[in-house]
C-alpha cells in the first residue's frame, strides 16, 4: 500500500515490478535483485534493505548473490527467519 502523500517516481515503480517479470528465470531474477540491492546499499549506506521470500533457500540464494556477485560484505547482511538465535 502506498500512502496518499507519497507519489512513486517512475524508476521506483520499475524497480518493484521488474524482478516480478515472469519471463526471467531464477538466476536472472536473483542477479537483477542483487544489482538493485547493491545500488541501494551504495546510495543509502545508513539505510536498510529488506528482501522477503517465501522460502529460506531463496533468501540464502539472494544473500550469496549479493556477496559473491556484487561484493556486499557479509557483515552487512543477516538472515531473519522468525526463530530465536542465541549467540
Express each pLDDT in 24-76 by its tens digit.
555 577 888 888 888 888 888 888 888 888 888 888 888 898 888 888 888 88
Q: Name, in order, each residue with C-beta under 8 angstroms of 22's C-beta and a sequence gap of 6 or more.
A: none
Q: How far is CA 24 from CA 6, 16, 64, in A?
A: 29, 14, 19
pTM for the model stands at 0.60
Q: Which three cell numbers stand for residue 26?
A: 531464477
How many Cβ atoms from other residues are within 10 Å of residue 63's Cβ?
Answer: 18
Residue ranges of domains in the chain: 28-86
pLDDT score for 27: 58
Q: For residue 2, what pLDDT band results from cuts at 50, 70 and 90?
A: very low
pLDDT of residue 13: 47
**For the chain, how many residues are written?**
87
Amino acid at each position: 500500500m502506498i500512502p496518499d502523500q507519497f507519489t512513486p517516481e517512475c524508476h521506483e515503480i520499475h524497480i518493484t515490478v521488474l524482478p516480478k517479470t515472469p519471463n526471467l528465470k531464477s538466476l536472472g531474477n536473483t542477479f537483477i535483485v542483487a544489482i538493485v540491492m547493491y545500488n541501494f546499499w551504495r546510495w543509502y549506506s545508513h539505510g536498510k534493505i529488506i528482501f522477503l521470500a517465501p522460502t529460506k533457500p531463496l533468501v540464502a540464494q539472494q544473500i550469496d548473490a549479493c556477496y559473491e556477485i556484487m561484493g556486499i560484505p557479509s557483515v552487512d547482511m543477516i538472515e531473519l527467519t522468525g526463530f530465536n538465535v542465541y549467540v
